[in-house]
Amino acid sequence: MDKLLAARQCLKESLEKSNSLASQIDETKSRLQKINDNLPILSTELRSTYSRKSTLSAVGEHVDRAFGPVAAVLKIHESVCGLERSLMEGPIGGDIMGYLLVVKQFEEALMFLSDNCGLAGQWMEDIVKLLDENVMADDKYILNVKRSLRVLSELKDMEAHARLNGGLLSNAFNTLELTFRNLVKENSSTNASFTEPQVHKLQIIIERLKAHDRLENCMTIFIDVRSSNARADLQALNLSYLEEEISESDSIQKFEDHTVQWGEHLEFALKHILQAEYDTCKTVFEKFGSEISLGCFAKITVQSGLLELLKFGTRITEAKKDAIKLLKLLDIFAVLDSLRADFNLLFGSKACLEIQNLTRDLIKQVVEGACEIFKELSHQVEAQRYNMMPPSDGSVPRLVTFVTNYCVMLLEDNHKPILSKVLSIHQIWNKKKSHNGILREEFQNILDSLEVNLETWSKTFEDNALSYFFLMNNYIYLYEFLQGTVFGDLMGEELLHEHKRKMQIYAQAYLKHSWGKLPAILSEDELILFSLGTNTQELVKKRFRGFNEAFEDMYRKQSEWVVADNTLREKACQLIVHTIVPTYRSYVHNYSYLVENESSPSKYVKYSASSLEAMLSSLFQLNVAKFGRSNSSKSNHLIGKLRNAVANQFRVAPIST
């Protein structure tokens, strides 16, 4: 419907111009007819003057010299009249090349006519002067010569009148502009290229109009048609999200899908829409100067809607600062970086200064925003030290799993090179020496803050065993997590060994303050092997009962505790099994016979060594945490899962100045 309405408007404008042209042609025709009627009189008078040469010998020489130019005027005027009819008919059958030839011939004929009228007029003026001075001259004859001189003057002004607005030549130029617009419209798709014949026609028209200071009109027409097409192609991508307002209180998660679309749309706009427009402008206009072609392209780009795309990217950088935003800023930078060659090619000229400034501003805000968030991460981890409490089950806090998985995501192939480049650019902008260790330095700060958090949180547990279990659990997680990941590779073997050392220290402390107490209950002190004394039997019963009570109490309590994943759970359980089961097995083997003859021997030997091992091996199984080692797919899933729980707390506050 839009195209039909546009076509209707175009036809209406063409009809109005045709009516105006017809009216102007009628006026011109009447004026030319008057001049034409006077030409025979001029010719007759000149011949009459020539016949009276013997009488007026003083003017004879001037008459001879004037007769040649006047004859040329008559002949040229006949040609002009013929060309006028062709111009008024317009391009017959779309023969624009033929029409251009007529326009050119008409211009040349008018110029020749004007020159000859000027020459003839000079001789006629001399004749009038001589006749006025000759007393023998006939007044009627002098009057006719003067009237002929006025006719020549009118013919000489014919070119100037034709060029005036509404004149025949001016209308011919209007026709050429309309034809130019139609030719440009014929190639309405940005994905299509003008054919060589089409380009030739367009350039011929431009040359003709340029010679008459109408190049700007050609550029305006071209920009109007092509930018309309480009904008339509861009709007077909569904860019309604560009109208959404974004404030500092908005989370970037709200616009996450839009940022993905934005990157795809920006790439499509540059590579498939604007690249075609750039090539088309260059093909059609570069013959007339690169400034002309690049100027057209710059205006087409602005009117196509690219600026709105770039401005949306800038608005995204103004969203609330949090850890998730850093990932999106890196994605935005990756898009811009991948399109850098396209930006430089398309918008490298002075004509595209507005686009250059907007792009530079976008890149600046992306780089500064990303660096601000990244360098604040360790401080934000530290800020959670007193804002959060550790899990009561001694498991790995969500902040720890979030931060470690988040760091791995930052160091994966799709983010690490971009993050490194962003940091390097920021260093250069701030006139600081860029170095390869900047990444490791910042990640070390994050880990250091995280470890201090763990040590601080561990002191909040009243149960020493749970405190050490918590630290063991987290250092096992960190050690296992970092191994074989890009995070661990960056931090180096020394850090891994340090985590392993701490893990072992806290594991020993945990066992010492919990399960390590149980073997002492089964001490063989004061027992006489194979003794059947009453005292020995009672002591064995007491120790079996004491062990059972301590084991069950500890097992019930620690069954609620959580280890990070199955691998880590198995290792923790193995430590407990190795601490208790060998001693228990030996004690049962050596002293169970002393209670076998009791009425209820199971009150004392409630567990076999194998059943005890089975229970301990599945101690933490029922509450296994679901945050294991990260890989690409797990990281994405984890980040999505933890966003609502952690991201709003893990927020970067503005840096005070």
Q: What is the pLDDT of residues 235-245, one digit of tens each?
A: 998 898 888 88
Mean pLDDT value across residues 427-454: 85
pLDDT score at 414: 87
Mean pLDDT of 5-34: 57
* Judgement on whether residues 222 and 308 belong to the same structural domain of the protein: yes
pLDDT at 388 over 90: no
| Pair 275, 137 in one domain | no
Instruction: Kindly report, residue by residue over 41-98, the tens digit of the pLDDT.
Output: 656 655 555 455 444 554 555 555 555 555 555 555 555 555 566 666 666 556 777 7
Which residue has tokens 């091996």?
617
Contact between 349 and 301 under an 8 Å Cβ cutoff? The reply is no
Which one, of 103, 59, 296, 306, lies nearest residue 211 by Cα? 103
Are residues 158 and 198 located together in one domain of the fold? Answer: no
pTM of the model: 0.70
Which range has the top average pLDDT, 17-21, 366-370, 482-486? 366-370
Of the given ranges (132-136, 364-368, 458-462), which has the lowest mean pLDDT?
132-136
Q: Please choose, from the candidates 388, 394, 391, the residue with its C-alpha nearest in 3D space to the C-alpha of residue 449.
A: 388
- Same domain assignment for residues 349 and 205: yes
**Residue 613 pLDDT exceeds 60:** yes
**Would residue 241 count as lying in a domain?**
yes
Is residue 577 assigned to a domain? no
pLDDT score, position 537: 82
Picking from 323, 339, 354, the residue at the C-terminal end of a domain is 354
For residue 362, the model assigns a pLDDT of: 96
Range picked from 289-303, 395-409, 599-613 for highest mean pLDDT = 289-303
Q: What is the DSSP string of 39-82?
A: HHHHHHHHHHHHHTTTTTHHHHHHHHHHHHHHHHHHHHHHHHHH
Flag whether 424 is in a domain.
no
Task: Say what percent of the chain tops pLDDT 70.
Answer: 67
Per-residue model confidence as pLDDT tens digits over 540-587: 888 899 999 999 999 999 988 988 777 778 888 888 999 999 999 999
Looking at the DSSP assignment, which residues form a beta bridge with residue 402? Answer: none
Q: Give yes or no: residues 205 and 331 share one domain.
A: yes
pLDDT for 626 equals 43
Residue 231 has pLDDT above 90, yes or no: yes
Asked if residue 57 is part of any domain, the answer here is yes
pLDDT of residue 421: 92
More confident of the two residues 107 and 302: 302
Q: Which of 323, 354, 385 is the last residue of a domain?
A: 354
Query: Which pLDDT band, with edges at 50, 70 and 90, does 628 fall under?
Result: very low
In a domain, 86, yes or no: yes
Please report the pLDDT score of residue 484 as a whole number: 83
Return the pLDDT at 17.
54
Same-domain status, 214 and 137: no
- Mean pLDDT to the nearest integer, 14-35: 57
Give the residue-averaged pLDDT of 617-629. Answer: 58
User: What is the count of structural domains for the chain?
Assistant: 2
Better-predicted residue by pLDDT, 316 or 191: 316
Query: In this structure, is residue 502 part of a structural domain?
Result: no
> Is 312 a domain residue?
yes
Name the band, by pLDDT with cuts 50, 70 and 90, for residue 133: low
Give the residue-averaged pLDDT of 326-355.
94
Q: Please report the pLDDT score of residue 643 as a whole number.
A: 46
What is the reported pLDDT for 645? Answer: 39
Range of the domain at 33: 28-163
- Token readout for 138 is 């006939």
- Please report whether residue 304 resides in a domain: yes
Same domain, 206 and 344: yes
**Closest by alpha carbon to 261, among 245, 246, 244, 241?**
241
Q: Which of 332, 354, 376 is the last residue of a domain?
A: 354
499 contacts 468 by C-beta, under 8 angstroms: no
Contacts of 365 (CB under 8 A, 6+ apart): 314, 317, 318
Angstrom distance (rounded) from CA 640 to CA 643: 5
Whether 153 and 222 share a structural domain: no
Asked whether residue 133 falls in the same domain as residue 243, the answer is no
pLDDT value for 547: 94
Q: Which two tokens stand for residue 290?
A: 């690169």
Based on the domain organization, do 198 and 292 belong to the same domain? yes
| Positions of E strands within 242-387 | none
Listed as own residue / partner, the contacts of 385-392 with beta carbons closer than 8 Å and 24 or more positions apart are 385/449, 385/452, 385/453, 385/456, 385/457, 386/456, 387/649, 388/457, 388/649, 389/457, 389/460, 390/457, 390/458, 390/460, 390/461, 390/470, 391/562
Tell me what pLDDT residue 349 has: 93
Residue 496, C-beta contacts closer than 8 angstroms, at least 6 positions apart:
479, 482, 483, 488
Residue 81 and residue 219 in one domain? no
Q: Are 132 and 211 in the same domain?
A: no
Using the predicted structure, report yes or no on whether residue 326 has a pLDDT greater than 70.
Answer: yes
pLDDT tops 70 at residue 273: yes
